[in-house]
Amino acid sequence: MINQAEVDRLYDCEVIDERGERIGPVKQVWLDDRDGRPVWASVHTGLFGLKETFVPIQDADMGNGTITVHVDKQKVKDAPKIDVDDQHMSQEQQDELYAYYDLIPGRRSGEHDRLPASGRAAGTGHTGTGRSAMGRDAMGRQTGRHAGRPGDDAVTRYEEDVQVGTRDVEAERVRLVKHTVTEQRDVTVPVEREEFRVVREPVRGEPTGRPFADEEAEVFLHRQEPVVEKTAKPVEQVRLEKETRTDQQHVRGQVRKEEVDVQRDQRPER
């Protein structure tokens, strides 16, 4: 259970349900009018918008930067969206939240009990001074995070700033792949060949053949043929090198800032 001394720590917490499902960060806290204990917290279930979702925290548990509530995430998500842009909450809006979560305001001690299954108990009205059960003071001002604490006369305004940096990502991969192609080469090679010719000479000395007999003589002629041989030899080395170049790229983003308005609550003259 969360006590009044832990209220300021609530604003740095995330609201989760009993299964550990994240509901959202705490935006505002609403206090009980009798003992100042936190009763409701408003969370944003989206990134933008003025409407907040309220979740009961009177019986929640806080620890390790989280607030564990005893309602599931879907229940909170479907809760009535209360518009608190005007820093006020009507009695009808309070009753709507109590009825949705089956809660009733405590009578004497300011505690809130869960509604029995038979129906809502009668006699839920109560009186009090200072803060109301939904966290408003006697002037109807909200006691949430963006409202001043008791004794404060100033609020802190926040603005978002754009921080631009760079990170390395893989753009593409480049590989060296070697493959074989076939080309045609035309080379002229000189070749030699032998040819015959008939040479007639007068006989000198004794003849070697028989007269009037058939004879034949063979002479072998030679020629050269081109012979192709191929050998592989290294011709060059190919490698990849990286170099860094700087380009200019424009980025655009949205930033939020808070604005402070002055609201005056005037009491009717008596």
Where do the structural domains in the chain lie, given as residue ranges?
4-114
Say whether pLDDT at 244 is over 70: yes
3-state secondary structure 173-195: CCCCCCCCCCCCCCCCCCCCECC
Chain-centroid distance of CA 118 in Å reads 47
Residue 2: the pLDDT is: 79
pLDDT band at 92 (very low <50, low <70, confident <90, very high): confident
Q: Strand 51-56 to strand 38-43: parallel, antiparallel, or no bridges (unpaired)?
A: antiparallel
pLDDT band at 89 (very low <50, low <70, confident <90, very high): low
Instruction: Tell me, yes or no, if the pTM score tops 0.75.
Output: no
Q: What is the dihedral of CA 69, 75, 78, 83, to 10 degrees?
A: -30
Say whether pLDDT at 148 is over 50: no
Residue 235: the pLDDT is: 93
Smallest CA-to-CA distance from 178 within 234, 230, 231, 242 is with: 234
Residue 46 is classified by DSSP as S
Residue 209: the pLDDT is: 77
pLDDT band at 105 (very low <50, low <70, confident <90, very high): low
* pLDDT, the chain, mean: 76
Helices vs. strands in the chain: H and E counts, helices first: 3, 9
Please tell me which residue, 31 or 84, carries the higher pLDDT value.
31
Indicate the CATH number for domain 4-114. Answer: 3.90.50.10
Please tell me which residue, 248 or 44, carries the higher pLDDT value.
248
Residue 111: the pLDDT is: 38
Strongest mean pLDDT among 13-27, 156-170, 223-237: 223-237
Residue 131: the pLDDT is: 37
